[in-house]
Amino acid sequence: MTEPPEFRDPVRNVPVRRVGPPRPGEADAGDDSRDAVVVEHRVQLVLNSRPLLWINCLPEALEYLAAGFLVSEGLLDGAEAIDEITVAPDLARVEVHGSVDPDRLVLFRERLSITSGCGGGASAAEAEEALPQCESNVRFQPDDLTDRIREMAAASTLFRDTGGVHAAAVTDGRSLSSFAEDIGRHNAVDKAIGLCLMHGVSLAERAILTTGRASADILAKAARAGLPVVVSRGAVTSRAIELALAANVTVVGFARRGRMNVYTAPWRLGFEGGEAQ
């Protein structure tokens, strides 16, 4: 893997006309007010010299975004299937060379759909029979997961500066194995997964944390990457629950201090129900 180019400032200060009283602690700047907005960039993902799709994203950690996307969409079987990742100097193109099953590529192109995500996310439509069964018997303490959710939120400096990004992280319960921010929740999840993949971190005994909604496409990404637990600070959709039940993945929503909703495979968090066979 080639070294990624130096990332430009992810925040841009732009002129703004503010309407209404200043926020608490903010001086009234009148017509000279400026606002910090997150940078949005359009990147082409190229697989084995053929354009695959365009992604609207925060132009940061693009090599991890590419790796995470290709594995979580089932096109590549882990980091070992990747030969090389090259990021263009202008950050407009990421090229990946690796071992791809031609039939999977055809199926991906046939099933490619716009997701429910923000940031122009795209994903192959998911189906129960297409998702691998999660065989991990890992256990987590609920308090550890909510602690890591708070740690992830505290690390999201771009959100505090702009309010314009989602965050995602992979954890073993004790610490964050990876952390990523992006304008789209799918991209943030792919980056967090890709960072672990490219650094040899096994996902079979870890959980993916996200600030975004846990919809079916997020659940499918986790299942394909081999993650046994999905934890969201927000809501979980009915389709995500159906897929989680079919794939034996634990899915958790509204994870905040001291509380959470556990929808599937609660035994991984020490609760009765749906015990591993």
Per-residue pLDDT at 121 exceeds 80:
no
Do residues 208 and 187 touch, judged by C-beta distance below 8 A?
no
Instruction: Give domain status of residue 127, yes or no.
Output: no
Q: Which two tokens stand for residue 59?
A: 């132009």
Q: What does the chain come to in residues?
A: 277
Query: Three-state SS for 24?
Result: coil
**Cα–Cα distance, 65 to 182 (Å, whole number):** 10
Binned at pLDDT 50, 70 and 90, residue 113 comes out as: low
User: 196-222, pLDDT tens digit by residue?
Assistant: 999 999 999 999 999 999 999 999 999
Per-residue pLDDT at 38 exceeds 90:
yes
Least confident range of 11-15, 31-35, 62-66, 80-84? 31-35
Instruction: Give domain status of residue 25, yes or no.
Output: no
Whether residue 196 lies in the annotated active site:
no
User: 73-102, pLDDT tens digit by residue?
Assistant: 999 999 999 999 999 999 999 999 999 999
CA geometry: angle at 169 spanning 69 and 185, to 5°? 55
Task: Please give the residue range of the domain that contains residue 179.
Answer: 142-269
- The residue among 66, 63, 36 whose CA lies nearest residue 52 is 66
The per-residue pLDDT for 118 is: 47
Q: Which two tokens stand for residue 28?
A: 């009234």
Query: Three-state SS for 209?
Result: strand
pTM: 0.90
For residue 61, the 8-state DSSP code is S
Instruction: Give domain status of residue 168, yes or no.
Output: yes
Instruction: Give domain status of residue 265, yes or no.
Output: yes
Instruction: Give domain status of residue 36, yes or no.
Output: no
Least confident range of 23-37, 42-56, 114-128, 259-273? 114-128
Domain containing 239 — which CATH number?
A: 3.40.140.10
What domain count does the chain have?
A: 1
Instruction: Give domain status of residue 70, yes or no.
Output: no
Instruction: Pick the catalytic residue from 57, 118, 134, 196.
Output: 118
Instruction: Give domain status of residue 194, yes or no.
Output: yes
The per-residue pLDDT for 19 is: 85
Instruction: Give domain status of residue 112, yes or no.
Output: no
